[in-house]
Homo-oligomer: A and B are copies of this chain.
Amino acid sequence: MLYLIGLGLSDETDITVKGLEIVRKAARVYLENYTAILLVETKVLEEYYGRPVIVADREMVESDSDSILKGAETEDVAFLVVGDPYGATTHTDLTIRARELSIPTTCIPNASIMSAIGAAGLQLYNYGQTVSMVFFTDSWKPTSFYDRVKENRTIGLHTLVLLDIKVKEQSLENMARGRLIYEPPRYMTVGQCAEQMLESEEIRGENAYGPESLAVGAARVGAKGETFVSGTLKELAEGADEVLGGPLHSLVLLGRRTHELEHVFVREFALDKGRWDEVWKRDYEGRT
């Protein structure tokens, strides 16, 4: 059996009891650590499980999945995924491959940022499609996310923006010389995201949102130091990171279809409550 096991969002104790029992008995344990990361090191997991954990990078999962699936017809293989196993396309792929090999699969779900973001106080029912924001470079500023945000905003919905993480990346020079030296990991912050969103609005100019659109920044959702901060995109670009601290960050752009209860909950996190109230009353209150 191939078990796809969600690890939740923060540390080794966020695994479910059911998931932990399977990990402790499985023949092999893999950890997918490139689409998302936990806030603890792999060795912490190994100690907690009492089992060696094989770190599966993108190459292994996408090009060498048969090594992961080897023997899973007769023994149990645990494939651990940060968050919920089916949050990323890659894992659908692995399940399809298992099917082709007649290997049964079981999914043990867990918290995903896509539902845990509910802790920011905006109703999950009012979220539209989720988008991803990648690190812009001088020459590469992909704004395809912008179309999705615009679609959500047009019908009044909130948008969850998932922020880029760069783990195990090589510099162009090291890549060219074939040196397996990796850059330090980089995690996009809410401030960077808000800035890139404003830059994208300037590039596209379709008024999907603006510097005064309200948003919530989130850090380490589901973890001990979980922190939220709210304000206009401009305020978040300038002041969010200082409040939020270290990774992982996410951002939610508010839609106009916003309930009074959401306002009460989210204004508590405002960088500037007076400014929040002003923009809220002008652009959001009572809109449907």
Contacts and interface: CB of A to CB of B under 8 A. Distances in A.
Interface of A: 6, 8-9, 11-18, 20-21, 83-87, 89, 92-93, 95-96, 99, 107-112, 114-116, 118-119, 121, 123-132, 151, 155, 157, 221-222, 226, 259, 261-262, 264-265, 268
Contact of A108 (B84, B157, B222): B222
B114 A109 contact: no
A70 to B, nearest CB: 22
Given A16-B17, A128-B129, A129-B128, A111 B114 contact: no
Contact of A18 (B13, B86, B151): B13
Contact of A6 (B111, B125, B132): B111
Nearest to A91: B118
B21 A17 contact: no
A214 B100 CA distance: 24
Given A17-B14, A109-B9, A110-B16, A86 B124 contact: yes
Q: Considering the complex of A and B, which 10 residue pairs feature the smallest CB-CB distances, nearest first?
A: A86-B118, A109-B111, A112-B115, A13-B18, A109-B116, A13-B17, A109-B222, A151-B155, A84-B115, A115-B115
10 contacts: A8-B109, A12-B17, A15-B16, A16-B16, A84-B116, A87-B124, A89-B123, A109-B115, A111-B112, A112-B124
Nearest to A6: B111
A222 B107 CA distance: 7
Nearest to A126: B129
Nearest to A162: B125
Given A87-B118, A115-B115, A128-B129, A261 B16 contact: no
Contact of A264 (B96, B155, B222): B96
Contacts of A87: 115, 118, 124
Contact of A129 (B8, B89, B157): B157
**Which of A16, A93, A259 has the most C-beta atoms of chain B within 10 angstroms of its own C-beta?**
A16
A81 to B, nearest CB: 11
A152 to B, nearest CB: 8
Contacts of A131: 125
Contacts of A18: 11, 13-14
